[in-house]
Amino acid sequence: MESAASAVRRLTELADQRPMQRLATAFSEAGHELALVGGPVRDAFLDRPISDLDFTTDARPDRILELLKPLASAHWDVGRAFGTIGGRIDGLTVEITTYRADSYEPDTRKPTVEFGSSIEDDLVRRDFTVNAMALRLPQRQLVDPHGGVEDLIAKRITTPGEPAVSFGDDPLRMMRAARFASQLGFEVDPGTVVAMRELAPRISIISAERIRDELSKLLCTDRPRSGIQLLVDTGLAELVLPEIPALKLEIDEHAHHKDVYEHSLTVLDQAIELEQSRNPGSDPDLVLRIAALLHDIGKPSTRRIEPGGAVSFHHHDLVGAKLASRRLKALRFDKDTITAVARLIELHLRFFGYTDGAWTDSAVRRYVRDAGPLLERLHILVRADVTTRNRRKADRLGFAYDDLEERITALQEQEELAALRPDLDGEAIMRILDLKPGPDVGAAYRFLMELRLDEGALGPEEAERRLRGWWAVRAAGGG
């Protein structure tokens, strides 16, 4: 954490920017209060990048708009009902919200919007003390009525008021506590954790879309493990992502298998490390991270104890893909994300047959074809799935996958494998066999695709000869 003096210096430099000065001056001359609030103030103390600029004021929305219009190159009021007006000033995006003092009904998350009269009223309703600090402008006076600075120093997440009241008002704050713990590397205050356990059932009043968004934000942090563990430990995961606590399989004293829950968290850790090393500077890959976390969720329902005490999980890849699809649909994820995650889970065991014997070029082509645009993600997931402490076994698997990637690269250079197609397209098939569009064309296309995978490029003439031979056998009832 930055020293207080350094944080104040960063905040002062921010306040000295021309758009900030123009905004502060306009509100001050109009007789209104204005303060930078929440994330930017927190991040100044943590020496984190400051991007979103949120302000709070005693001015009502109509008045905010009046004061903002002359300064802004663009403005919007989509949040007017909640007191928020946004705009761009000299290229800087700002959002300004009237002081709030909302009230909540016990059976709904939707607040009765009430505007407050002071910044203290506004700060006490915020989620956590580290987000309940403000910098008055143009005075540059820090407002911290709930000890946010002390909690930053202690690396502690807690609420401005009683956590039971805060979480009762907005149960999603319990999930945000897990996200901030991961995002900031902080611990959640023990009393706050107790309130999370007691109020976990309240999460049921939150929409699936908001839960999805909060889970996504958690998974896109650099270290989501601690947040996921907190969701599991407090019982929240049982309600929003029950497949994860279900991975805590009972260990029979006579049966032997690794801890699937801990293994899954380790795979997630390793997938993030590989993602960041192979694609430095890229945005977090949510699809990959969901797949890493859920890749073994088919194991609880496929667990069998074999003679001798060994434990098997036959077809847990296929079962897991179906379970993941079902859960992600319930959480309202988009179709592309659901399809990609399910496919990665379905394919994540495919590689392990590679170590049993040398794959033919045909098998390598099929691996690439089946992965399609997910190939790079599959590379990362498969490598991350190696969590054995047996160094020799880990090295053997790592070297084997190195070999597979090298063969894929070589074949791609030879054949443009990523765009693998049969030697003849649908139009050529219909012309050669005098067919109209229909199932026979699809069957012929699949036949040529199998040839392409098994034998590589044949060329149009040889492909036509093989196609005519196949069609003759098929027409005679032999295929």
Exposed / middle / buried, residue 292 (Cβ in 10 Å: 0-12, 13-18, 19+): buried
Please say whether the beta carbons of 453 and 369 come within 8 A.
yes
Options 3.30.360.10, 1.10.1740.10, 1.20.1250.20, 1.10.110.30; CATH for 156-241 is 1.10.110.30
Burial readout 334-359 (b: 16 or more C-beta within 10 A, e: otherwise)? eeebbebbbbbbbbbbbbeebbeeeb
Angle at 411 between CA 407 and CA 414, to 5 degrees: 145
- Which stretch of DSSP H or E encloses residue 76? strand 74-76
- Which stretch of DSSP H or E encloses residue 474? helix 460-475
* CA distances for 126 relative to 37, 42, 110, 141, 210, angstroms: 10, 13, 15, 19, 18
The SS3 call for residue 36 is: strand
Nearest Cα to Cα of residue 261 among 242, 243, 248: 248
Q: How far is 34 from 215, CA to CA, in rounded Å?
A: 33
* CA distances for 216 relative to 104, 154, 277, 285, 287, angstroms: 26, 27, 21, 10, 10
Q: Name the token pair of 454.
A: 């098994």
Which CATH architecture does the domain made up of 245-419 adopt? Orthogonal Bundle (1.10)
DSSP line for 368-433: HHHHGGGHHHHHHHHHHT---S-HHHHHHHHHHHHHHHHHHHHHHHHH-GGG---SS-HHHHHHHH
Please say whether the beta carbons of 278 and 380 come within 8 A.
yes
Q: How far is 377 from 375, CA to CA, in rounded Å?
A: 5
pLDDT tens track, the chain, 479 positions:
656 677 777 888 888 888 889 999 999 999 999 999 999 999 988 888 887 789 999 999 999 999 999 999 999 988 888 889 999 998 889 999 999 876 666 666 566 677 888 999 899 999 999 999 999 999 889 999 999 999 999 999 999 999 999 999 899 999 999 999 999 999 999 999 999 999 999 999 999 999 999 999 999 999 999 999 999 999 999 999 999 999 987 554 444 556 899 999 999 999 999 999 998 989 999 999 999 999 999 999 998 887 777 788 889 999 999 999 999 999 999 999 999 999 999 999 988 877 666 788 888 888 888 998 999 999 999 999 998 888 888 888 888 888 888 888 888 777 665 567 888 888 999 999 988 888 888 889 988 988 888 888 888 999 999 999 998 888 877 55
Please indicate, yes or no, whether the overall pTM of this predicted structure exceeds 0.85: no
Do 156-241 and 1-154 have the same topology in CATH? no
Give me the pLDDT at residue 137, please. 92
Give me the pLDDT at residue 475, please. 80
Give me the pLDDT at residue 117, please. 85
Give me the pLDDT at residue 254, please. 41
Q: Kindly report whether the peptide bond that precedes residue 163 is cis, defined as omega within 30 degrees of 0.
A: no
Structural domain boundaries in the chain: 1-154, 156-241, 245-419, 426-475
Helices (H), 279-374: 286-294, 299-302, 316-330, 335-347, 361-371
Q: Name the token pair of 97.
A: 């919200």
Give me the pLDDT at residue 255, please. 45
The SS3 call for residue 437 is: coil
Give me the pLDDT at residue 478, please. 59
Give me the pLDDT at residue 35, please. 95
What homologous superfamily is domain 1-154 in, according to CATH?
Beta Polymerase, domain 2 (3.30.460.10)
* CA distances for 442 relative to 421, 438, 439, 449, angstroms: 13, 7, 5, 10
Beta strand 53-57 pairing with 34-37: antiparallel
Give me the pLDDT at residue 418, please. 55
Q: How far is 31 from 16, CA to CA, in rounded Å?
A: 20
Nearest Cα to Cα of residue 128 among 173, 187, 95, 96: 173
The SS3 call for residue 78 is: coil
Q: How far is 465 from 433, CA to CA, in rounded Å?
A: 11
| Distant-in-sequence, close-in-space partners of 226: CB < 8 Å, separation ≥ 6 | 178, 181, 182, 185
- In the DSSP assignment, the letter for residue 144 is -
